[in-house]
Amino acid sequence: MSPGWFWKVVSYKVAFKHIYSLNTYPLLFLFNKLILDYIIHYFGLMVRLIVSLYILFLIFLVPLWVRGTYIWVHIAETTKVEDYKLYLKKASELWIKVIRVPVDWYALEPEKGMYAKKYIDEIKQRVAYAQKLGQKVIIMISQSPEWASWKTWENAPAYPPRPKYYKDFANAISYLYENLLNSGDAYDINSNTILAWEIWNEPNVLEFWRPDSSIPRVWTEVLIPLDAAQEYANMLAVTYKILKSKHEDMIILWGSLASADVDYLNELYKYWWWSVPFDHLSIHPYAWPDNSNSETNSNYGRAQFPDQCNEDDPLTPPWCFEEWIRNVRNFLDSKWDKDVEIRLTEFWTSSDDERGGAGSEEMQKEHMKIAINILRKWSRNQDIMKIPVAIVYRLKDENDDFFWLYNSDLTIKPVGLYLRSQLDEYWKIKYSSAPYISKDLKVKLDKLVSRFVAKLDKRYSDSQQKVKVLGKVIEKLKFLKNKSVKFKRAIEYVIEELERRKNFYVNSRF
């Protein structure tokens, strides 16, 4: 077999394996049979260029969530379905493609065994409309109904269910799952639209999981005592077993922990031993106020930046973004759960000037820039960190919460504009009309073209032959450009560079 044919076969197999190992991602439809046919029929320099181009496109043009962590948003509960649909549209305008949807158990099953059909229909409408916009959802369910709660009063949802009702909680989730995916109704929700089910919200804080004692854990202001972790451990074990027995394909997220609470995780593992009842972990790594150097620190009392962790303050750990998320990863690895992903199902900083806020909308944007840079750094090595999801809390400021992307009147905040610019770059939704390509991709494409031309010069001494080969390559790239809307501008850039080299050979005397 000649070297050319050998390279052809190897290139095809490598490309084919790489393509179909990622076949769940929507942009990869560009690798259709027609393109692969061209790869297999044009070997030598042409194959090297085309295969190399598409590997680069995979690396640089697919969205952030293919390369590593993808950033989405939490849309809070609202009583009006039409308001929720408006929020979904606003999220779509920011190129946000995954939504965290909260569901309240007390509204789903207000009386034991009696499910609220109207509430289920509202959830269906929200999920179906998200699907219509090309969005996917993570459903988080929590909040005990009064009949199942430890407390039978107005704050019952803040308390966990009594152990005898753990099965009812699991059955309620199963009932909702089956109703959402009822192929016989008008909503036609696809199972792929629901990415995961998150079991409870922040069971390690007093606000959402009040144990018998209301006294917080030592050296914390809000975290529950560690001996109360057994309650959540038992509930999750029962829930996971029932759900998996009925719906094997359900992805179950556990934890949903406020902060990167490694001590709480350690307590849960003590009760589970080796039988861990979950698929992946979710955490909420919010920032604690910076209490260091009150006289000289201009950021005193405001939220620590994502790359900051003042461990001199005993209240700060585990409320640190970068450092303590690493600690969570190290903890999971130490428990032989290296394949477990960490999903940040809530994170961010308020824009207000109160204690723990960023201080202003512009400073809130700076927090986002740092967080995205950290996530990008981690996304380059997903085999280690395994953080595919980072969900912003939340879409719109409400009441006294100033956490997110839009003001309460739905005017966009600086952080929303920044996030849109970042997602716009990674999704390349408008790539065909974009006046530029990213600097990183341009550098890679320039190197690729230069290597191609160098090999062309080495193989052929006759300028006329070089022009002929370049003409064929440009013709095929033009064909691919017309078939590839998302990659159009990058292919045009390569064509321009090759045309320039071709004109050089045409005008060359040698």
User: In the chain, what are the domain boundaries?
Assistant: 3-61+432-507, 64-118+137-179+189-431
CA dihedral 58, 91, 349, 425 (to 10 degrees): 30
CA quadruple 404, 410, 411, 416: dihedral, nearest 10: 30
Peptide bond into 100 cis (omega under 30): no
Please give the single-letter amino acid code of residue 25. Y
The 10s digit of each residue's pLDDT in 451-467 is 888 888 888 888 888 88
Q: For Cα atoms 449, 453, 455, give the angle at the middle one, nearest 5 degrees.
A: 120
Q: Which residues have C-beta within 8 Å of that of residue 295, sequence separation ≥ 6?
A: none
Cα-Cα-Cα-Cα dihedral sign, residues 133, 134, 135, 137: positive
Cα torsion through 113, 119, 124, 130, rounded to 10: -140
Given a cut of 50, is residue 477 above it in pLDDT?
yes
Residue 391: strand pairing partners: 72
197: enclosing H helix or E strand = strand 194-199
Weakest-pLDDT range from 29-43, 141-155, 283-297, 481-495: 29-43
Cα 62 from Cα 403, distance rounded (Å): 29
Is a pLDDT exceeding 90 seen at residue 121? yes
Mean pLDDT of the chain: 79
Q: What is the DSSP letter of 286?
A: P
Q: State the amino acid at position 260 in one-letter form.
A: A
Class (C level, CATH) for 64-118+137-179+189-431: alpha beta
184-236 pLDDT per residue, tens: 778 889 888 999 999 999 999 988 998 766 788 887 888 999 989 999 999 99
Average pLDDT over residues 160-172: 96
Angle at 283 (CA atoms; ends 277, 286), nearest 5 degrees: 165
Residue 44 CB neighbours (<10 A): 16
DSSP letters spanning 207-256: TT---S--PPPTT-SSBPPGGGHHHHHHHHHHHHHHHHHH-TTPPEEEEE
Q: Per the structure block, which two tokens stand in for 294? A: 């009150």
Distance in angstroms (rounded) separating the CA atoms of residues 487 and 431: 7
Query: pTM here?
Result: 0.72
Burial 272-311 (b: 16+ CB within 10 A, else e): eeeebbbbbbbbbbbbbbbbbeeeeeebeebbbbbebbbe
Q: Is 403 helix (H, G, I), strand (E, B) or coil?
A: coil
If one compares 132 and 429, the residue with the highest pLDDT of the two is 132
Is 30 a residue whose pLDDT tops 60? no
Q: Which pLDDT value is given to residue 349?
A: 86
The secondary structure of 111-176, three-state, reads ECCECCHHHHHHHHHHHHHHHHCCCEEEEEEECCCCCCECCCCCCHHHCCECHHHHHHHHHHHHHH
For 325-441, strand residue ranges (E) read: 342-347, 389-393
More confident residue, 166 or 396: 166
Q: Please report, rounded to a whole number, the percentage of residues in the chain having pLDDT higher than 70.
A: 75
pLDDT score for 11: 41
